[in-house]
Amino acid sequence: MGRILMKGNEAIGEAAIRAGCLNYFAYPITPQSEVAEYLSRRMPEVGGVFLQGESEVAVGYMIFGAAGCGARVFTTSSSPGISLMSEALSYISGAECPAVFVNIMRGGPGLGGILPSQADYFQATKGGGHGDYRLLVMAPAGVQEAVEMVMKAFPLAEKYRNPVMILGDGLIGQMMEPVEFPDELKSEPSNNDDWATSGMETRKSSRRNLVKSLFLDSEQLEAHNRVLKAKYDRMRREEVRYEPYNLEADYKALIVSYGTMSRVCRTAVDILKVEGFEVGMVRPQTLFPFPEKAIEEAVRRESCKVAVSIEMSMGQMVEDVERSVRGRCPVEWFGKSGGDVPTPEEVIDAVKSFVKELI
Amino acid sequence: MEKLEGIVAFVGNYGSGKTEVSINFAVDRKRAGIEVRIADLDLVNPYFRTREARGPLSDLGIDVVLPPEEFLQADLPILSPAVAGMLRQHGRLTVLDVGGEDVGARVLATLADSLRDKHVHMLLVVNPFRPFTDTVAGCLQIRDKIEKASKITVNGIIGNANLIDETAVQDIYKGYDFVRALSAESALPLMFITVAAELLPAIESKRFDCPILTIERQLVPPWKKPVQLKQGGSG
């Protein structure tokens, strides 16, 4: 099959199938519902299962159950739905089960709106649920990248026995782009004989596995949380992904932006380059782990006067940008979160005004 | 293209390009000197709808019928009451941009009273580079579902083969051959095919025995600019 034109939501559904995931539980919500609609048709064609839960709370625990049994499983939702799944995310992380969650973000808080947003940055990267847990969070900037991230998410979730989240804004779900599904990203489910409750008949060992997040003994819980921390530290060492843009120039400002917002910023950087006003960009592809070192390196450039976090939220990622910059230059924020994606012109005005204030 | 007067409804599967075709067809006919109305009947799609091009269309003098302003972003299936009225007393050309698949086309059945005794050009928009419509059988299945839901018979095909910005000349030729085969199999006439304005100079139009509608893309992501619609067209 050559390239086909797909809506992000459809492509995400197809990517999961191509990655070998045949278990999908979900509940419809705009702007993500097309994943469920697409898979309600495709899953039966490939011998997979799509089951619509009675709520996102139920879906979260259906994912936990399937993951605990060692099945490759995923779900998709949008912001309010992910809030309802956050308890399950904490339990799944605590019980060290692999699963893939896709959040096609809409405006919030509360019911908010149905237009694109990136206001679930904190929820995705700092918790949402309770306890000392982290999700490995990947943020695609286009439909092809969403496909590749979904396909990579399953082996990553299994590598760490931890949920992986794909964080896309509403545009990622709704826009159409040509895509292909790289065969080399297909993967076999990893061996889970030593932990999953997959049934004694299919397993070689005679050991009884137990999937749980309850540790009443303080020493046991301490040891368990140390194990989790070691995993998150390993993610920080091994899984950071980012895309540099125009960093070879002598840029006056460094933009940090992710998702479709970064594509607006890229257009702004191109327009400014023609004007002779150089701006560099680091686009985080993983939000946890965050590309701290890349940003710190980038602001060391002598010409760089300011770092600007540009996001479709009222300033969430900016805190991680500040942490990464380590006081080497001022850090500013620009963004919108009502549903209108900032235009390249608005980005240009914001960046210029920050640079001007410093001259 | 001239034969398409009265009520013209564009239907098809999700993402087949109904809205872009509706907008550009309305613009093309307006430029030919015809009074045009266009109604956004897409009740199922949350983004990238005709309503997003309402400014440029109104500027050209095209009458755009939308749900009331305060409900434009509502995640609700709102049908403007003005639509029934405009169908009963339609002018020379009324373009209906209908939502995707049978779910989206069901809105036409609710307008049955207004459409009674009227001829409707019910045109199936096909992009063979989309999932589920990459085979003739797939297209016919979608057609059957749409006819059942809308209670109107499809009576023509629009070839809209494209991969948006990455469409190559060969894709247009392949797409044309595909809709020709679909037309032969279904006995439905091929009304026109579409070609993006920027690709048009590279296309040998002699290959086609149907008209070409030039697409000046209006539904673009925020980092791109829609083609500016001029009164006389881009050529």
The whole-angstrom separation of Cα A234 and Cα A289 is 10
Q: Does A197 touch chain B (CB under 8 A)?
A: no
Q: Does the N-terminal peptide bond of residue A116 adopt cis geometry, omega within 30 degrees of 0?
A: no
* ipTM entry: 0.91
Give tens-digit pLDDT for A126-172.
988 999 999 999 999 999 999 999 999 999 999 999 999 999 999 99
Rounded to a whole number of angstroms, the distance from the CA of A310 to the nearest CA of chain B is 14
Give tens-digit pLDDT for A168-190.
999 999 999 999 999 999 999 99
Structure token pair of residue B11: 């239907």
Assess contact for A287 and A125: CB atoms under 8 A: yes
Assess contact for A52 and A27: CB atoms under 8 A: yes
Minimal-distance CA residue of chain B relative to A114:
B75
pLDDT band at B41, cuts 50/70/90? confident
pLDDT at position B6 is 94
Mean pLDDT of chain B: 92
B164 CB neighbours in chain A (<8 A) are 5, 176-178
pLDDT at position B148 is 96
Instruction: Please indicate whether, in this complex, the C-beta atoms of A260 and B162 are within 8 angstroms of each other.
Output: no
pLDDT for residue B235 is more than 50? no
| Nearest Cβ partner for A178 among B48, B131, B164 | B164
Residue whose entry in the numeric block shows the structure tokens 């005679």: A206
Give mean pLDDT, residues B89-96.
Answer: 89
Domain positions in chain A: 4-238, 242-357
User: How many CB atoms within 10 Å of residue B138?
Assistant: 17
pLDDT at position B43 is 77
Give tens-digit pLDDT for A83-111.
999 999 999 999 999 999 999 999 999 99
B166 CB neighbours in chain A (<8 A) are 3, 178
User: Mutate which of B44, B47, B129, B165 to test chain A, going by most A C-beta atoms within 10 A?
Assistant: B47
Instruction: Please indicate whether, in this complex, the C-beta atoms of A267 and B221 are within 8 angstroms of each other.
Output: no
Size of interface A-B (CB pairs under 8 A): 72
Terminal-to-terminal C-alpha distance of chain B = 17
Q: Which CATH number fits domain A4-238: 3.40.640.10, 3.40.50.1860, 3.30.300.30, 3.40.50.970?
A: 3.40.50.970
Q: Which CATH number fits domain A242-357: 3.40.50.300, 3.30.300.210, 3.40.50.920, 3.30.1180.20?
A: 3.40.50.920
Rounded to a whole number of angstroms, the distance from the CA of B130 to the nearest CA of chain A is 5
The whole-angstrom separation of Cα B226 and Cα B224 is 7
Give mean pLDDT, residues A315-344.
Answer: 97
Give tens-digit pLDDT for B170-218.
999 999 999 999 999 999 999 999 999 999 999 999 999 999 999 999 9
Structure token pair of residue A33: 């519902």
CA A63 to chain centre: 17
Rounded to a whole number of angstroms, the distance from the CA of A188 to the nearest CA of chain B is 25
Instruction: Please indicate whether, in this complex, the C-beta atoms of B47 and A170 are within 8 angstroms of each other.
Output: yes
The whole-angstrom separation of Cα B224 and Cα B165 is 11
Q: Does the N-terminal peptide bond of residue A31 adopt cis geometry, omega within 30 degrees of 0?
A: yes
pLDDT for residue A290 is more than 60? yes
Residue A31: closest CA among A150, A145, A171: A171
Least reliable range by pLDDT among A16-25, A125-134, A193-202, A341-350: A193-202
Instruction: Please indicate whether, in this complex, the C-beta atoms of B15 and A176 are within 8 angstroms of each other.
Output: yes
pLDDT band at A1, cuts 50/70/90? low
pLDDT for residue B234 is more than 70? no
B147 class by beta-carbon count within 10 Å (0-12 exposed, 13-18 middle, 19+ buried)? middle
Q: Domains in chain B, start-ordered, CATH in brackets?
A: 6-215 (3.40.50.300)
pLDDT for residue B78 is more than 90? no
A263 CB neighbours in chain B (<8 A) are 221, 223
Q: Does A80 touch chain B (CB under 8 A)?
A: no
Give tens-digit pLDDT for A211-258.
999 999 999 999 999 999 999 999 999 999 999 999 999 999 999 999
Which residues of chain A from 111 to 130 reach within 8 Å of chain B, CB to CB? Answer: 113-116
DSSP A191: P
* DSSP one-letter string for B92-160: SEEEEEEPSHHHHHHHHHHTHHHHTT--EEEEEEE-TTSTT-SSHHHHHHHHHHHHHHHT----EEEE-
Q: Does A341 touch chain B (CB under 8 A)?
A: yes
Instruction: Judge if A4-238 and A242-357 fold alike in CATH terms.
Output: yes
The pLDDT > 90 percentage for chain A reads 94
Assess contact for A103 and A82: CB atoms under 8 A: yes
Rounded to a whole number of angstroms, the distance from the CA of B46 to the nearest CA of chain A is 7
| Nearest Cβ partner for B46 among A10, A174, A342 | A174
The whole-angstrom separation of Cα A327 and Cα B191 is 64
